[in-house]
């Protein structure tokens, strides 16, 4: 079936790209930020945890609010919060104020992540898995574009503070674009009905299976996005461009992987696609800590991006198709767990890096892929027995 896109699809792509920029800008600028503010590995990893800390709560609040007032005010406000937080980071004189500013960007990211995926389902109720993978590919494209541009600016000698200001302006522009767009009508729902939906979802065993899977998938994705530039600069090459290209390679292959998953979903079971991806992830991520040359690191990172790509959008699509509950609330709840995984993995790797070295921190990633295989195989078996 030929894809049919709407104007709001294009805005959704822009929203995800700015969300991606807000996610990648800190790891790309991390060595420079660390030098300016004198932070260690665990404090650096804690930056990602801080960014995601409020997202979990915001995701749930956004899902509840969207049922009453619609998605537009929350998605639009999310872009404005991203713009404000990114600007405040650019003027932060110390680590505590930087953490506070990152939390503001986390609020904006929470609104974006909570509601753009359900918006895609609203726009494309038929074949939503295909459109979710296409839309989420623009998150990877945003990571790739941000890493490439910011890496070049750092190599050219621009301050990391000005880079954050450029990103803030981009988020402001997208927010204005959302503000001028026509959204689907708000759903009629009250707080008691929403609470009932949340409780209904929480007692479904399948929800916790999908929640654990998205936690692990997000953790793998964030680990490579957050630490790749620092890893390259620490062990392979100290030019900012080289580390930024590592993030670009990973993000580019994630974008390819999501578009490929959208194509394959017309012919293959989505769970099978995720299982094969996780098996590939175990193999290639297990080799990365042993690599000492930059080209081979790039190659393995490319395959890891391909292996990681499909998990987030495909888990959401599978959950929506299997659990038969309100998609907006379900996506908000699953995304909150996923964002928690997004903040957890870089922090743990940073702690390992302080106690031993960052290279050893990368050894947790094959383990996360193996846990994903177990969860996906279990989910597939359960779904077959309940059909």
- Tens-place pLDDT, residues 73-103: 888 999 999 999 999 999 988 888 888 888 8
pTM as predicted: 0.75
pLDDT of res. 1: 43
Tell me how far CA of residue 381 lies from CA of 220, 261, 269, 295, in angstroms: 24, 21, 13, 40
pLDDT of res. 359: 87
d(CA 242, CA 229): 8
Q: Are 241 and 155 in contact (CB under 8 A)?
A: yes
pLDDT of res. 188: 53
- Tens-place pLDDT, residues 111-161: 887 788 888 878 877 667 677 778 877 887 888 888 888 888 988 888 999
d(CA 152, CA 148): 6
Q: Which two tokens stand for residue 61?
A: 């609040």
Higher-confidence residue of 208 and 4: namely: 208
d(CA 126, CA 120): 10
Q: Across all residues in the chain, what is the average pLDDT?
A: 83
> Tokens 């957050």, residue?
226
Tell me how far CA of residue 313 lies from CA of 25, 26, 141, 212, 217, in angstroms: 22, 23, 15, 14, 10
Report the C-alpha dihedral over residues 96, 144, 258, 136, rounded to 10 degrees. Answer: 50
Q: At what angle do helices 95-123 and 7-37 cross, to 10 degrees?
A: 160
Q: Which two tokens stand for residue 222?
A: 């964030």
d(CA 329, CA 114): 9
pLDDT of res. 383: 63
Residues with Cβ within 8 Å of 47's Cβ and at least 6 positions away in sequence, in order, are 26, 30, 33, 39, 98, 99, 102
Q: What is the CA radius of gyration of the chain?
A: 19
Q: Are 222 and 346 in contact (CB under 8 A)?
A: yes
Q: Are 352 and 361 in contact (CB under 8 A)?
A: yes
**pLDDT grade, residue 264 (50/70/90)?**
confident
Task: Please check the confidence at residue 18 and state whether its pLDDT lies above 90.
Answer: yes
pLDDT of res. 332: 76
Task: Please check the confidence at residue 266 and state whether its pLDDT lies above 90.
Answer: no
Task: Please check the confidence at residue 55 and state whether its pLDDT lies above 70.
Answer: no
d(CA 372, CA 374): 5
> Tokens 């994705």, residue?
221
d(CA 325, CA 327): 6
What does the pLDDT average to over 289-296?
A: 89
Higher-confidence residue of 41 and 31: namely: 31
What residue ranges define each of the domains in the chain, with the CATH number in brackets?
A: 8-386 (1.20.1250.20)
> Tokens 């960052």, residue?
358
% of the chain residues with pLDDT over 90: 21
Task: Please check the confidence at residue 299 and state whether its pLDDT lies above 90.
Answer: yes
Q: Within 13 Å, how many C-alpha atoms sit on residue 304's CB side?
A: 32
**pLDDT grade, residue 241 (50/70/90)?**
confident
What does the pLDDT average to over 353-361?
A: 86
What length is written for the chain? 387
Q: Which two tokens stand for residue 384?
A: 């077959």
- Tens-place pLDDT, residues 159-216: 999 999 999 999 999 999 888 877 876 555 555 566 777 788 888 888 899 999 999 9
Task: Please check the confidence at residue 5 and state whether its pLDDT lies above 80.
Answer: no
d(CA 106, CA 339): 10
pLDDT of res. 162: 93
pLDDT of res. 365: 92
- Tens-place pLDDT, residues 101-122: 888 888 888 888 778 888 887 8
Residues with Cβ within 8 Å of 239's Cβ and at least 6 positions away in sequence, in order, are 155
Task: Please check the confidence at residue 4 and state whether its pLDDT lies above 70.
Answer: no
SS3 181: coil
- Tens-place pLDDT, residues 316-332: 888 887 887 877 778 87
Q: Which two tokens stand for residue 64?
A: 């509840």
Q: What angle do CA 310, 253, 376 make, to 5 degrees?
A: 25
């Amino acid at each position: 079936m030929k894809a049919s896109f709407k104007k709001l699809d294009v805005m959704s792509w822009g929203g995800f790209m700015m969300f991606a920029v807000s996610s990648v800008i800190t790891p790309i600028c991390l060595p420079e930020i660390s030098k300016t503010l004198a932070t260690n590995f665990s404090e650096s990893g804690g930056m990602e945890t801080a960014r995601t800390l409020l997202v979990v709560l915001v995701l749930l609040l956004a899902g509840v609010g969207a049922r009453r007032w619609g998605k537009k005010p929350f998605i639009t406000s999310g872009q404005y919060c991203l713009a404000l937080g990114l600007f405040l980071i650019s003027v932060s004189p110390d680590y505590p104020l930087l953490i506070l500013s990152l939390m503001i960007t986390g609020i904006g990211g929470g609104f974006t992540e909570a509601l753009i995926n359900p918006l895609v389902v609203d726009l494309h109720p038929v074949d939503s898995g295909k459109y979710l993978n296409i839309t989420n590919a623009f998150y990877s494209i945003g990571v790739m574009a941000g890493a490439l541009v910011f890496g070049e600016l750092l190599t050219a000698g621009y301050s990391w503070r000005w880079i954050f200001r450029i990103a803030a302006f981009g988020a402001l522009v997208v927010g204005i674009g959302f503000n001028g767009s026509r959204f689907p009508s708000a759903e009629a729902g009250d707080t008691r009905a929403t609470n009932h939906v949340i409780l209904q979802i929480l007692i479904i065993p399948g929800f916790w299976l999908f929640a654990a899977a998205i936690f692990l998938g997000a953790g793998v994705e964030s680990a490579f996005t957050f630490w790749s530039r620092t890893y390259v600069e620490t062990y392979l090459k100290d030019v900012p461009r080289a580390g930024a290209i590592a993030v670009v390679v990973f993000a580019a292959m994630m974008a390819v992987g999501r578009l490929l998953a959208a194509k394959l979903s017309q012919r293959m079971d989505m769970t099978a696609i995720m299982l094969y991806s996780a098996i590939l992830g175990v193999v290639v991520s297990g080799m990365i800590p042993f690599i000492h040359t930059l080209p081979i690191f790039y190659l393995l990172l490319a395959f890891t991006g391909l292996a990681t790509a499909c998990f987030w959008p495909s888990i959401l699509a599978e959950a929506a198709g299997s659990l038969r509950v309100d998609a907006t609330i379900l996506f908000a709840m699953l995304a909150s767990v996923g964002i928690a995984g997004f903040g957890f993995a870089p922090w743990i790797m940073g702690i390992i890096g302080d106690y031993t070295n960052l290279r050893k921190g990368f050894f947790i990633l094959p383990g996360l892929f193996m846990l994903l295989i177990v969860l996906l195989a279990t989910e597939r078996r359960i779904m077959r027995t309940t059909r």
